[in-house]
Amino acid sequence: MQIQIIDFEIKGDERGSLVALEGNKNIPFDIKRVYYIFATQKAVRRGFHAHKNLKQILICVSGSCKILLDDGKENTEILLNKPNQGLLIKSMIWREMFDFSPDCVLMVLADGYYDEQDYIRNYQEFLRLVK
């Protein structure tokens, strides 16, 4: 499976570091929504769905977590632990998030507003649609 990681430029100086995210520039879509997941317990696994249309970029701005991606043919696990790295997840990819560090803040940029109708929450249904 092709994994798309985007490395963002760090504007660093003696004061520290800064990363800027701009729609249709270093983020390859119009950003319609931003949300973030934090204070997740270590044993928790979240996600368990795919999106029919939504595209997203996941950035672990603090700490670390792992992401399982499954395209219906193969799956892979990705460690996110750099605040200057974004994982692009296109539509029709099953995802699960796990192994959250206590300080993990997982920020997500999305190209669409929240829409429960866009979720495929049943894995068998996902496999049927993806084939």
- Could you give the residue numbers annotated as active site? 49
The correct pick among 5, 44, 102, 114 for binding ligand T46 (CB under 6 A) is 114
Indicate the residue among 18 and 103 with the shorter CB distance to ligand T46: 103
Residue 27 has what DSSP assignment? B
Interface size with ligand T46, residues (CB under 6 A) = 11
- Interface with ligand T46 by CB under 6 A: which range of 12-20, 29-37, 76-84, 123-131? 29-37
The correct pick among 19, 26, 47, 101 for binding ligand T46 (CB under 6 A) is 47
119-123: long-range contacts, CB 8 A cutoff, minimum separation 24 = 119/49, 119/50, 119/51, 119/52, 120/49, 120/50, 120/51, 120/52, 120/94, 121/48, 121/49, 123/48, 123/94
Q: Which of 40, 38, 22, 42 is CA-nearest to residue 30? A: 22
The correct pick among 5, 9, 30, 35 for binding ligand T46 (CB under 6 A) is 35
Residues that bind ligand T46 (CB under 6 A): 33, 35, 37, 46-47, 56, 58, 95, 97, 108, 114
